[in-house]
Structure 1
């Protein structure tokens, strides 16, 4: 058995090289995801401090929160254009600039105007990051490591959220914004140590540079000629990408699948549950509400670490389906909880522990599947020639859906109540499970070229 295991390792080393360089490149690239996570979580602990300092009025709270989403709606398409025009590496570098500007604007803000500008800028950078980093990670990874390395982006997002929640226990809004400048600057510096992806270099006809890039992220003794040839065979250098290609089934089909999965991610109710986290804990365990919120952030991190290891073992489809079922059950239980709470039918023990347990299992389910996989799937299923444009469209759909859910959440509450709103999110999760089971192919262990051939009808992948 030991001999067989050693043989497998030797074969993997021969054809895929050492993972150390890929992991190092992934770490540097994902610093931007850390900034993105910090941006997502910032408003929750910062807004009470801003209101107290009177730099933000109560009527402007909703705008401050939603401006990040509006900025991301513009940043996503811009990032898609940049990765084709300037390359994946330089696009990640460019995304650090609006992060730096945005956080500096918030640090020096004396009124809501500069706060809004800073929030929009960090949202714009976040939109860029959600396009640039997943594609970069997918293109530098080997097929056996793509799942775990691609999941590292979501891991860094959850670490960023946990970081800002923890910082919010002690720091005021300006100090928290000052801390956020650190990863933004580190991202700008770290990009200089990253190689460009071989796919982008080959698409520009730069084969010699592509070989150097492969050598930089593979084992130094590995012969990368064969891998470079396999990638290059997927390009038609005489054909320019045209937007009219989206009429073709091989591009329209993955675009619909990816856009639907990203939309289902937003309709899973994640923003609503995050919005309710503090209020749930204030109702259940009022003396420890803020600390419990930080613990939930820690649960997200741990569950996402587990997802990283499961991604290339269990596969994308099984994790999405399993996580979707868990989220469906917990959201429907949430709906029942708020119905009983409104009718004052809950015992004191149920009122204390029931929502906490439901919330914990919901966050575990989301972190195992619907958190990391949609963006990973986006980076995998689009053909190389259209990866930037298609990813920009898919992320625009994602951020537009996020904006709709965030801004209409209060309207849904007024119309259907908390119980009805959570029931709607639960049924949406159920629909997402059916959609994945019926339409989403399993990409575990498949090369990007094999996935492209599948949508051309020339390769067999399980659905």
Structure 2
């Protein structure tokens, strides 16, 4: 009887976890934030979700420590957050771009006033730019589904960037490291107990702290620089972890240093920025569907890494597993440096024009030495002048 009950509880936990994952997948905080935020703070606002995810992970670590035998209470307390989210969504307006697409101009203006606190002049410019992009998209006779399944070259370029960042965010082993931090520490020689929980909480604190740093700097430093820095740091940390487990007696100090280094480096770049970039790069007409596909890729890779992490440790060794992720993180570095365009300070419509220009010119790889100027050079003259003027106006007001 007890065995049957245990099996039932286990299957119920699995089913509820799948349902929870589906609910999370339907949420799109980065997509919403990217559509309602002014360009010069879009990175900041779109990263709040990632910061709170990491605060939630940290709370999970700490509550697991405090409520060690009462895991059901820990899981049940998590239901409060979705309930509050459901209540608060009543007060959130639709995005201006969606409202304009539905022909509701007055509602779009009201949404801009409420969410972005634009001046009357800025609202006029933003509405004009959104309308121009909608008219350009409506001039074609293809449906959104057709554009995704038989995409034009501009959309292919956007897919390469958007789906690429979704893939690499999880392919470097981040989910395995987050889920199995206690397992990695135990393999390094740290036994169960307060020391294990304390180090796990310290790793979670490190992760949340560096997400906050990324949140406050990405609109000044830029997306690409942070991704490159993050990739370098993740590679070094994974190399350190791999080396720690090649020793005859795994080094606890190196393992902890590698874990903290990984969390810090991942959280300052790939952690928060993949969702931001994914929500920025697609044209309005297909943005919702494309972002959904991107998150589907992200979750699939995440689940694959989480399921394969322990079997890989058994077959390849812990050092071999981390060396594999080290190689993938080097590929992520090349991808960020050569493929991902700099989008800081640009409107979503201007970013769409970058991919149109890439398709027109047959460019896949950007020129790194022109990375600072390329984001404006690729724009049509009218948009380039508008965004340069907007940037000067923003800088003078700060």
User: Helix, strand or coil for the counterpart of 1:234?
Assistant: helix
Tell me: CA distance 1:215–1:53, structure 2 relative to 1, closer, same or farther (3 Å): farther
Taking the aligned partners of 2:314 and 2:183, their CA distance within structure 1 comes to 17
Does the CA contact (< 8 Å) of 1:199 and 1:384 recur in 2? yes
Q: Aligned residue for 2:370?
A: none
The question of 1:229 aligning with 2:128 is answered: yes
Taking the aligned partners of 2:51 and 2:4, their CA distance within structure 1 comes to 34
Shift of 1:113: 3.5
Taking the aligned partners of 1:429 and 1:201, their CA distance within structure 2 comes to 40
- The more displaced of 405-414 and 299-308 is 405-414
After TM superposition, the score normalised by the length of structure 1 is: 0.71
Tell me: CA distance 1:112–1:276, structure 2 relative to 1, closer, same or farther (3 Å): closer
The CA RMSD measured in Å over matched residues stands at 2.3
Does the CA contact (< 8 Å) of 2:112 and 2:118 recur in 1? no
Shift of 1:141: 0.4
User: Helix, strand or coil for the counterpart of 2:375?
Assistant: coil
- Describe how 1:148-159 pairs up with structure 2 within 5 A: 148-159=44-55
Taking the aligned partners of 1:309 and 1:265, their CA distance within structure 2 comes to 20
Tell me: CA distance 1:213–1:53, structure 2 relative to 1, closer, same or farther (3 Å): farther
User: Helix, strand or coil for the counterpart of 1:445?
Assistant: coil
Tell me: CA distance 1:220–1:359, structure 2 relative to 1, closer, same or farther (3 Å): closer
Tell me: CA distance 1:400–1:279, structure 2 relative to 1, closer, same or farther (3 Å): closer
Shift of 1:118: 1.6
Q: Aligned residue for 1:315?
A: 222
Q: Aligned residue for 1:267?
A: 171
After TM superposition, the score normalised by the length of structure 2 is: 0.83
The question of 1:330 aligning with 2:237 is answered: yes
Tell me: CA distance 1:218–1:371, structure 2 relative to 1, closer, same or farther (3 Å): closer
Does the CA contact (< 8 Å) of 1:284 and 1:353 recur in 2? no
Taking the aligned partners of 1:168 and 1:369, their CA distance within structure 2 comes to 27
* Match 1:242 to one of 138, 141, 144: 144
Shift of 1:411: 3.3
Taking the aligned partners of 2:221 and 2:55, their CA distance within structure 1 comes to 23
Does the CA contact (< 8 Å) of 1:137 and 1:146 recur in 2? yes
Taking the aligned partners of 1:365 and 1:316, their CA distance within structure 2 comes to 14
- 1:338-385 Cα offsets, whole Å, 9 max, x none, are 111xx33x6xxxx23221111111110000001000010001001111
Does the CA contact (< 8 Å) of 1:151 and 1:308 recur in 2? yes
Unmatched segments (≥5 aa) in structure 1: 1-51, 58-109
What is the total number of aligned residue pairs between the two structures?
Answer: 351
- The more displaced of 418-427 and 269-278 is 269-278
- 1:12-68 Cα offsets, whole Å, 9 max, x none, are xxxxxxxxxxxxxxxxxxxxxxxxxxxxxxxxxxxxxxxx999656xxxxxxxxxxx
* Match 1:454 to one of 354, 366, 371: 354
- Describe how 1:338-377 pairs up with structure 2 within 5 A: 338-340=245-247, 343-344=248-249, 351-377=251-277
Tell me: CA distance 1:379–1:191, structure 2 relative to 1, closer, same or farther (3 Å): same
* Match 1:397 to one of 286, 297, 315: 297
- The more displaced of 132-141 and 251-260 is 251-260
Tell me: CA distance 1:381–1:221, structure 2 relative to 1, closer, same or farther (3 Å): closer
- Describe how 1:4-153 pairs up with structure 2 within 5 A: 56=6, 111-129=9-27, 132-153=28-49
Q: Aligned residue for 2:200?
A: 293
Shift of 1:213: 1.0
Does the CA contact (< 8 Å) of 1:412 and 1:421 recur in 2? yes
